[in-house]
Amino acid sequence: MAMQPRLATIDPEALDLTDPQTFLDHDLHQMWRAYRELSPVHWHPPTQRAPGFWVISKHTDVVAVYRDNKQFTSERGNVLATLLKGEDSASRKMLAVTDGPRHREIRNLMLRMFSPRVIESVVEGVRRRTNELVAHAVDRHELDFVTDVADCIPINTIGDLMDIPAADREQLVEWNTLTLSRHSSDSSELDELMARNEILLYFARLAANRRRNPGDDVISALATATIDGEPLSEDEIVFNCYSLILGGDESSRMSSVGGLIALAQHPEQWRRLKDGEASLESATEEVLRWTTPAMHFGRRALVDVQVRDRTIRAGDVVSLWNSSANFDEDVFTDPYAFDLTRTPNKHVAFGHGPHFCLGAFLGRAHVNAVVEALRAQVGEIRLQGPPRRLFSNFVQGYSSLRVALTTEPTGRRIPTAP
């Protein structure tokens, strides 16, 4: 059984969750335990940079707000960065920040493009590419797992689905990282804005071309789709392309990197995986829970809502912290243990409710492929120094991770995938 983090002297009233440095300066398990026990529905006071907002940290409350699209809306933004500015420029243009009938119409359209039946044919390519990357990593022995392996998997899968030229994909990964986080405190918010605009301009050009010359890809499907006989607007096409590349790349990359770190730091779990005691499916779900790349999502209250003993007023911003909910002692047995055989595993790494991540099936496939390739080809994982964490209050992840991967000894039997 893993040791529970002590509450120590952490006071939720003293923390600034709008400052990315907060997430580097504190033990996050300890920090979120303090919120859950001392102030599960917490009013975060205004700061010099932003107005006040609510912090929801218990799994039950997080799930309840995710489900409630009558009293809470995403249309003013779905992360603190946009919600606290009062609006999101993608509102009612991008699925993630659209509610009501238009949300259902566009979601149903996109579900057809990303259904398990359609994506299943892509999964074999994911496995093949991942096996090749891990094989090359083992041959090199020492490398940066972020840039040499993790960065190359999701972007190429979603790139193939969207028929993005291979030469452009590395740049898109760099822009993606900047739009959701920063490599360090030296980067500026202007860098984030410029990266976002670059992605939008890039997809505007691609979408215009696909409207004239459609192919068999997701961008062409969006560019030529109709709802009730009417085509999607240019903004809807471009912003939903932006959303797909963002969601389809970042969370899978960060889960894969965080999963490798966890396997290196928990040798007993690595052995259980290698010996076949832990299935690929349960290991994948535990990696997603443990890493929780998207630390929060957000909503704005449409009416006064009672949550526990607090009244959230109409217009208030509400932040839902997946990174706390996924370690809630009331839901997860021994939550601070990295347990690859954990079941059930009711994590909210992909959100919940009407806005549950469209790419969840593909995200799971990416993490599953990495876990499977490591199990089959790698004998030992050694971290070569501390990983470099991203500077963000939204993405929990890493910009660099030096590792040494030792090959699996010849003749060792590796359990085959079920």
Position 18, amino acid:
T
Contacts of residue 418, Cβ cutoff 8 Å, sequence gap at least 6: 279, 280, 281
Contacts of residue 48, Cβ cutoff 8 Å, sequence gap at least 6: none
Answer for the pair 30, 5: CB distance below 8 angstroms, yes or no: yes
Q: Pick from 87, 17, 83, 20: which is nearest to 47 by CA? A: 17
- Calculate ∠ Cα 320-325-331, nearest 5°: 145
The enclosing domain of 141 has a CATH number of 1.10.630.10
Answer for the pair 23, 50: CB distance below 8 angstroms, yes or no: no
Q: How far apart are CA 359 and CA 165, in angstroms?
A: 21
20 within domain boundaries: no
Report the chain's mean pLDDT, rounded to a whole number.
92
At 401, is the secondary structure helix, strand, or coil?
A: coil
Give the pair of three-digit tokens for residue 225: 């789709």
3-state helix, strand, coil in the chain (%, to 5): 50, 15, 35
| Residue 342 pLDDT level (bands cut at 50, 70, 90) | very high
1 within domain boundaries: no
Other CB atoms within a 10 A radius of the CB of residue 67 amount to: 14
Q: Are strands 53-56 and 317-321 parallel, antiparallel or unpaired?
A: parallel
301 within domain boundaries: yes
Write the CA distances from 262 to 75, 259, 412, integer angstroms.
36, 5, 23
Residue-wise pLDDT for 225-259, tens only, equals 999 999 999 999 999 999 988 877 778 899 999 99
Contacts of residue 267, Cβ cutoff 8 Å, sequence gap at least 6: none
Segment 314-342 mean pLDDT: 98
So what's the pLDDT on residue 210?
95
So what's the pLDDT on residue 411?
47
239 within domain boundaries: yes
Residue-wise pLDDT for 191-214, tens only, equals 788 888 999 999 999 999 999 999
Give the pair of three-digit tokens for residue 107: 């979601």
Domain containing 95: what range?
Answer: 37-407
Q: Pick from 224, 338, 328: which is nearest to 290 by CA? A: 338
7 within domain boundaries: no
64 within domain boundaries: yes
386: pLDDT strictly greater than 50: yes
Give the pair of three-digit tokens for residue 242: 């932006």
Residue linked to tokens 């690859």:
340
Give the pair of three-digit tokens for residue 359: 């790419």
Residue-wise pLDDT for 31-87, tens only, equals 999 999 999 999 999 998 899 999 999 999 999 999 999 999 999 999 999 999 998
Answer for the pair 215, 51: CB distance below 8 angstroms, yes or no: no
What's the domain count of the chain?
1
At 62, is the secondary structure helix, strand, or coil?
A: helix
So what's the pLDDT on residue 187?
57
109 within domain boundaries: yes
User: DSSP string of 149-213?
Assistant: TGGGSHHHHHHHHHT--GGGHHHHHHHHHHHH-BSSTTS-HHHHHHHHHHHHHHHHHHHHHHHHS
Q: How far apart are CA 142 and CA 391, in angstroms?
A: 25
Q: Pick from 407, 339, 337, 398: which is nearest to 374 by CA? A: 407
228 within domain boundaries: yes
Q: How far apart are CA 310 and CA 65, in angstroms?
A: 14
356: left (phi over 0), alpha (psi -120 to 50) or beta: beta
Residue-wise pLDDT for 137-175, tens only, equals 999 999 999 999 999 998 899 998 999 999 999 999 888
Q: How far apart are CA 26 and CA 173, in angstroms?
A: 28
Burial 81-113 (b: 16+ CB within 10 A, else e): bbbbeeebebbbbbbbbbbeeebeebeebbeeb
At 110, is the secondary structure helix, strand, or coil?
A: helix
